[in-house]
Every structure is written in C-alpha cells, then in structure tokens.
Structure 1
Amino acid sequence: MSVLEELKTNSISRPRYGCAIGAMHTASAIPRVVPITHCGPGCADKQYVSLAFYNGFQGGGYSGGAVPPSANISENEVVFGGDDRLRELIQASTKIVDADLFVVLTGCIPDIVGDDIPSVVGEFQSKGVPIVYAETGGFRGNNLTGHETVIRAIIEQYVGDYSGDKTKNTVNVWSEVPYQNTYWRGDLSEIKRILEGIGLKVNILFGHDSKGISEWLDIPKAAFNLVISPWVGKSVAEYLQEKYQQPYLHIPSIPIGAIETSDFLRKVTQFAVLDQETTEAFIKKEEKEYYKYLEDFSDFYSEYWWGVPARFAVVSDSIYNLSITKFLVKQLGLISVKQIITENTPEEFKEQIREDFRNIDTDVSLEVEFLEDGYLIEESLRSSPEKPAIIFGTTWDRDIARELKGNIVEVGFPSSYEVVLSRSYVGYRGALSLIEKIFTVAISASA
C-alpha cells in the first residue's frame, strides 16, 4: 500500500468532534474560569469557531470565544522550546484577567517538543496563583476525552484531598460535554431542576446554573456522583470513588419525556435513599402538566397523521443518540431504521452501548453503528433498505436528507442552522420542545 493510499484509508471526512484542546470549552463553561491555550496560532480559534460558533451559535460567555489568552507558538518555540513564552503569557494573563481559576491547556506543538508545563505552572501554583494545567495535544484524543482530562486536572491540582464529612442529599452531576453538545446549557438547567424537585442539592458544575469554583471545591463533600451518559464522565466518577470514597450511579441515557424522566427520578431516589413521597409528588405534578400539553397536541397528531414522519434515523454522539431513540420509540411510537454514533467511542464501552440499543423497549431491539467518517455515514444512510423520513443529525447530514427526500432536525455538532440560547430537549419540559421542533419541521417541509 502506498503512503497516499494509507493516508486515504486513515483519513476522516467531516468529523463530528474537536481535538483534545477543544476542552478549553470545558474550562470556560465554568463561571469565572479562564482557559489559557499554549498552542500554535489558530488552534484555539478553530475550536471556538467549530464547537461554539457554527454549533448553535452558542456564544463564548465570560471567558470563551475569542477571549482566552493564547501563546500563538511560532517556529522560535518549536526550535528553542516554549517555556519562556508560556511563563510570560501566564504572568500577563493573571495580571490583566479577573478570574477565579486559570486552566492551561497544551496543543500538539508543546506536547511534542517537550515543554515543561508542570514546572512552569508549578512556579505560579507555589505563589498561590489559582492555576492548573492539562495536557491536551490533539494526538491525545478528541475534545470528549480532553473534557475528562481537564476535569481531573482541576480536581487533582486545585480541589485536592478531602477527608471530612459528606453532605447528605448532595450530588455531583457528570453529563453532557459543554459546547460539544449543542443544547448543554438548557439541558443541564433542566437536569438540575428536576433533581432539586426530588430533594437533592445539585452541583451541576457547568453553565449558568453553576456557582463556579466554589461548587467545584464542594465536589468532595457530595454524598454521591451521578453520571448521565453512556461513557463520558464514568471514568471521572470511578476516580472520585477512589479518591473521596464517593459512590456513583451510572444512568446511560439522559431522560427525555415523562416515561424516561419519571423512571430516572425513581432510580436516583432509590440509590440516594430519598423520601419516596416527595419524589412521587413531584413526578405527579410534572406528569400532569406534561400530559396536558400532549392532550393539546393530540388534535394535531390525530388530524395530521398523513404528514407525520413514521421512520427515523439518529446520527449523533452516543449521549443524544440513545436518549432520542428511546423517546421516539417508546413515547411517540416512531420506527427507527438507523442509529449511527459518531464520537469515536472508546472500544471498552461499545458493547454495553450495543446492549442498551438491543433493549431499547420490551419489544424493540436495535443495532447501532459506530462511524466517524461523514462519507461512510452517508453511504450507510443511502444503503438502508428503509429510508428515514426524518434524520436527527447535524448540518452535514442535510444533503443526504434532501437526497432521500426526508427532513432534518439538527441535534448535534455541527449545528449551523439553529440558534441555541437556553433551549433544552431533556426532561419533561425539554421533550415538549423536541416535539414542537419535530413536527414544525415536518409540516414546514410539506408546505
């Protein structure tokens, strides 16, 4: 095989994730935490443009977007090393920028040439500067694994050891990856709301509902950790179990709609030994409101049946893929023809995810594909014996949806035809927003 053929074999067209330094968004998603990127010119900007701008136009917030300080490494640092450049950047950043914590993230160049990041950052840590570092060169993985790297860096280097008492009914939530998941802000807000509704104090850790670094310092005091994801965050929970002796509950899908959300809350209640009457009262209140809205929707659903898409495909990362598929199958009665997971799932988690899809409902068993390449995704959809009338995917799936004469609902990165502020598709309220979106797209396409 020639070098060119080998490169073609190993290339990926239209990947649906960033590189590890994209986890700069993990830092900026924590209120008043500022990422400092030690990388080449353009690296940080590309991660912002792809993950935050052309992905729901989410905005950068206080310390994201074009704000993060960057070393803009040149040939000089490649030849002579970038330690001095980084030292100057940290000095300037900590002097000018008002932050509760700084997170230095490395790109490929300093990781390859061997810059001594721990030593440089250690100089400032020894002086009491709130700063940590994470090695996030692109060859180390994508922004989902980088997300976990940044989390562990903050816990190891800033939160530190703890041997005191745990706070009853307090939980740390590990779920969607900020900015990678287009609707993360609204989704985390809804998750926090429903968990508080059953009597928990919630460290949501990211987004507008987080208390920032004070909440992170409370991580060791929580009674348990809650992972709501097929795999992202699970290694963090295992690490915290060992470090702080905290048990964790792993629920592989974020709940969408009354059936899944009520089941989710009962599982959490049982694990955390909460008051069941409080939980059932909250569920009753939420379900009453939810089904009232569905009753209103039933007029449309019964009269407009001929325009409603019956078959669907989901092309997204695993956290939304499993959750949306469950909702559409179990609560809307739609028929799945294809599920494609796109985030380069670590091999050790794939079989459990396959098993979750095989048990999607009592009488529904589905097979899932793991594909990163945009061309292969299109070929898979194109070759499906049954064509999806609606694809839950990304901007890059619009062409194949048009070719198959189907509709598209953008639910993941990149999402360039959606402007997302606080919208959520999870929980009781988010499910209603998702239903609105699905059938607005359906009737607009038939106009």
Structure 2
Amino acid sequence: MAKAAKKIKVIEQVRYSCALAALHSVLAIDRAVPILHAGPGCGQRLSTALSTTNGYQGTGYAGGHAMPCTNSTEAEVIFGGEKKLKELITHSLEVMDADLYVVLTGCTADIVGDDSTEVARGFQKQGKPVVCAQTGGFSGNNFVGHELILGAIIDQYLQPSEEIEPGLVNVFSIVPYYDAFWTGNLEEIRKLLEAIGLKANIIFGPGGGVNALNKIPKAQFNLLLSPWIGLTNVQQLEEKFKTPYLHYPVLPIGPTETSKFLRAIGKYAGLPSEQVEASIAELEKPYDYYIERSADYLLQARVGLPSRFITISDSFYALGISKFLVNDLGLLPGTQFIIDNIPAKYQADLEKEFKDLSPTISAPVVFTNDSGTIREKLRETKFRGKPLILGSAWDQMIAKELNGYQLSVSFPVADRFILNSTYIGYNGALRLAEDIFSVLVSSNY
C-alpha cells in the first residue's frame, strides 16, 4: 500500500532573511567593509530587501553594488573557491579604504566546503584586519547571522586591554538595518545612558565604528538590551575578557519602562540612586508636558480608540511597544505575534513578560514566522471595534479587511521613509504616540 504523501508547509511572507543578510551589521560599522564569498546576486537582493525597501535607508559606502563578491559560479562549485576568495580579499585591501574587512560566506561556499576562515587567517598572519564569519543561508536567519559576525570579530579581531575604563558600557541591542529605526534608536540609548553619568560605547551607526570596536575590551560592563539576540556574544566577551554583562530583555519605550531600565542600569553600575533619580525626573518632564497637552484629545476620544492592539513584530518591538501601550497609554492588547523565529529555550521567558504586562493585564502570544497563519488567526478573532495592527507594510490589506488601523513599525517598512526617527525612551514614545494617533485621526479624512 502506497504511503500517503507528506503535507508541504508553505510559509508566506517570512519577515526576516537568511544569515548572509547580516552583511548589514558590517555596513553599520564605520570603516568596515563586507566581502562576500557567495553566488552572484545574493548581496544585491539582500541589500534591496533590508535597506532599499525597508525605510529606504540606502546602501552606504560599501553596500549594494559596491560590495566585493566572488560571484561564485559552477567553476567554484566543482573546483572550490578558496583561490578566488584569496584574490578578492587581496584586491579589496588595495581598493577599498577601510580598517576592518569581514568575509561572509553564502550557501555555495559553505556547501562546497571552502575553508574561508583559513583563507582569512592567512591575511591575519600578515597583520591584515580580516576576519571571517560562516553565514551560509542554512546557518539560520539574519539574527543568527548578526551574532555570528559579532562572534567572529570578538574571536578573531579584538585584543585584551590592560586597563578598564570606569563608566564605559558596551551596548549590544537592536539589529542594524533590519530595524529601520536603528540609527535613531541607538542614538537615544546613548543619550539615556549619558544622562545618568555613563559612557555608552555603541558600535553601529554615527559615532561608532572600528574605533568603538577597539574599546570593547576596556568596558566596565556589557549591556545586552534585547530579549535574546546577542546573548551568546556577551557571554563570549565574559569568557574572553572577563567583562560582566547585564541582560535587560525589554526595549525601553515610554516613561514606565524607561525609568525602570535606567534604575536597573544605575544599580548595576553602582551609581548613586539620587543621581539616577534626578536624571529620570528631568527626562520625564518633556514627556509629561506633551502628554498633558494632548489630554484634550486623548480623554475626549474625538476619534474612536482601537478596541485592541495587535503587534506583528520581532520580540524587540512586540514586547517594548506592548508595555508602553498598556502601562502608559492605557490601551488593551490582543494577540501578540512574534515573528523572529526565537529559539524555544527563550520563549518561556518572553511569554512570562507578556503575562505580566501590568499587574492586571496580560496578552496571549503566538510564535510564528508565517504571515498566512497570522492572517488566518486575525480573521478568526471577533473584534468589538477597530483593531490597531502594529506590523509591517504587508499588513495593510488585513487591516483594511478587518476595518482596522495599521502602522508599519517592523520589517519590511516599505511604506515609510526613515531617517533618524526613534521609538526608544521618552522621546521615542512621544514619536510612537504621534504616529499611532495620526493614523487614527487620518482615518476620518
């Protein structure tokens, strides 16, 4: 008797990319250049997905068509591509002005079995700043790729420091380019830490770069501001340099969570509590002013408030936004969809955070990377009014179908142009409130 055919699971509109897409983490480091050992077209397609059509961020100095690439073909599959990679690195060192060169491998190189790390090691022996990360697409998604790149830099490039700089904090948090708001968010984190008397060492974006990388071993401690991404990296730094780390899993959005975050940081850093409280009081004043000024609109509810809010996002934004909307704006949550393929060992901790959004309010969580599944569950939900969907540009149609509101906050943000906007902290919360209520107001026109 013939066996029944296996059902094939088709995933619609996956909201992340492959490990090689973490080339953007290299592009986000000033004076660093990615060198791709991959097939033709991989880099350009990933660049289009994560930068060009995700907030229209652009490609930068060494992105897009400027990225050095072996463009591996049938010849490299048959005979191997190590010789071609060595030639490419040699020429890249000659023509690309940079202080760090990061080789990233694609599926072709990793399947064939090219020892790309050994090729990079040959240049390291010559004193050249070249490292290699094995980022074949089957290694995982771009979150895993981000960790692999940081891991390669820590292992192959960073050197121990004889001195520790008091108050210097390495910040590991959101994934560059994947988060269309990454530059503004990281800058706001810097401002928050500096407001309580710490020095933020942020690798990615303006003010960071290879100089910031070189400072990593000098830090008093590492801050991981993330539910799970980057945990392996701060543990790696602890093992290599004996640098302790603080893991704070919630992206601080709004006064409730941001003040809680700053108190936790201040306590861990050994700062005087009165110093931290004085800074918090000053930081909260502008937020209180603008929210109080908008009370006429918010309290009279001239436009119908959403019955429930839904997040369709990575674990960073889903948790941070939910806590802000519940604790600071008083909105009620519906199902929260987590789309970053979070490893099972971290899911229970995240579910606990959603269970305790406030002393009396919790939210159900669904872990899925399938947009089709998300749409089916939303269609099955009986909303008493208009829902607010905080997701991506792909969610415009389901929001319209449900007669709801929609705002793109997570990949792909293809319907917005982003420069330095932020949703983090007190200022970022004001911007998020502006964006949400502007959607509500505009729906009447």
Q: Normalising TM by the smaller chain, what interval?
A: over 0.9
Q: SS of 1:105's equivalent?
A: strand
Matches within 5 A, 1:345-360: 345-360=342-357
Partner of 1:255: 252
Q: How much does 1:163 deviate? A: 5.6
Q: SS of 1:227's equivalent?
A: strand
The 8 Å contact of residues 169 and 274 in structure 1, kept in 2 or not, is answered as no
Matches within 5 A, 1:375-386: 375-386=372-383
Partner of 2:168: 170
More deviation in 151-160 or 97-106?
Answer: 151-160
1:86 aligns with 2:85: yes
The 8 Å contact of residues 337 and 384 in structure 1, kept in 2 or not, is answered as no
Q: How much does 1:165 deviate? A: 3.0
Q: SS of 1:102's equivalent?
A: strand
The TM-score with structure 1 as length reference comes to 0.96
- Cα 1:434/1:116, change in 2 over 3 Å: same
Partner of 1:125: 124
Distance, in Å, in 2 between the alignment partners of 1:22 and 1:3 is 37
CA deviation vs aligned residue, 1:355-398 (integer Å, no higher than 9, x gap): 11111111112221101011011111111233652100001111
More deviation in 18-27 or 62-71?
Answer: 62-71
Distance, in Å, in 2 between the alignment partners of 1:391 and 1:435 is 14
CA deviation vs aligned residue, 1:93-144 (integer Å, no higher than 9, x gap): 1100100100000000000001121221122111111110000000010000
Partner of 1:67: 66
The 8 Å contact of residues 303 and 441 in structure 2, kept in 1 or not, is answered as no
Q: How much does 1:46 deviate? A: 1.2
Distance, in Å, in 1 between the alignment partners of 2:5 and 2:110 is 27
Identity score, percent? 44
CA deviation vs aligned residue, 1:25-79 (integer Å, no higher than 9, x gap): 0111011110011100111111111111111111122222332111111111111
Distance, in Å, in 2 between the alignment partners of 1:397 and 1:113 is 39
Partner of 2:243: 246
Q: SS of 1:66's equivalent?
A: helix
CA deviation vs aligned residue, 1:185-207 (integer Å, no higher than 9, x gap): 10000001110110111111111
More deviation in 132-141 or 237-246?
Answer: 237-246
Partner of 1:48: 47
- Cα 1:429/1:2, change in 2 over 3 Å: farther
Q: How many residues align?
A: 443
Match of 2:316 among 304, 316, 319: 319
1:378 partner letter: R
CA deviation vs aligned residue, 1:201-241 (integer Å, no higher than 9, x gap): 1111111131x112111111101111111101111111111
Distance, in Å, in 1 between the alignment partners of 2:62 and 2:189 is 24
Partner of 1:338: 335
Distance, in Å, in 2 between the alignment partners of 1:185 and 1:193 is 13
The TM-score with structure 2 as length reference comes to 0.97
Segments of structure 1 that go 5 or more residues without pairing to the other structure are none
2:431 partner letter: S
Match of 1:214 among 204, 211, 216: 211
Partner of 2:189: 191
Q: SS of 1:103's equivalent?
A: strand
Partner of 1:234: 231
1:397 partner letter: D
Match of 1:202 among 200, 203, 209: 200
Partner of 2:180: 182
2:272 partner letter: D
The 8 Å contact of residues 309 and 389 in structure 1, kept in 2 or not, is answered as yes
Distance, in Å, in 1 between the alignment partners of 2:302 and 2:285 is 25
Q: How much does 1:277 deviate? A: 2.5
1:328 aligns with 2:331: no
Distance, in Å, in 2 between the alignment partners of 1:5 and 1:209 is 53
Distance, in Å, in 2 between the alignment partners of 1:47 and 1:225 is 30
CA deviation vs aligned residue, 1:151-177 (integer Å, no higher than 9, x gap): 0101111113x2623211111111100
Distance, in Å, in 2 between the alignment partners of 1:259 and 1:66 is 44
- Cα 1:2/1:192, change in 2 over 3 Å: farther
Q: SS of 1:338's equivalent?
A: strand
More deviation in 30-39 or 300-309?
Answer: 300-309
Partner of 1:271: 268
Distance, in Å, in 2 between the alignment partners of 1:384 and 1:63 is 46
Distance, in Å, in 2 between the alignment partners of 1:426 and 1:310 is 24
Q: SS of 2:373's equivalent?
A: helix
The 8 Å contact of residues 231 and 252 in structure 1, kept in 2 or not, is answered as yes
Partner of 1:433: 431
CA deviation vs aligned residue, 1:284-338 (integer Å, no higher than 9, x gap): 1111111111111112213334432241100000000000000001111111111
More deviation in 412-421 or 235-244?
Answer: 235-244
Segments of structure 2 that go 5 or more residues without pairing to the other structure are none
Partner of 2:30: 31
The 8 Å contact of residues 117 and 133 in structure 2, kept in 1 or not, is answered as no
1:412 partner letter: S
Partner of 1:366: 363
Q: SS of 2:336's equivalent?
A: strand
The 8 Å contact of residues 152 and 236 in structure 1, kept in 2 or not, is answered as yes
Distance, in Å, in 2 between the alignment partners of 1:165 and 1:94 is 31
- Hey, which bits of structure 1, 4+ residues long, moved more than 3 A? 1-6, 303-306
2:381 partner letter: S
Distance, in Å, in 2 between the alignment partners of 1:445 and 1:268 is 40
Partner of 2:400: 402
Q: SS of 2:64's equivalent?
A: coil
1:96 partner letter: V
Distance, in Å, in 2 between the alignment partners of 1:119 and 1:311 is 53
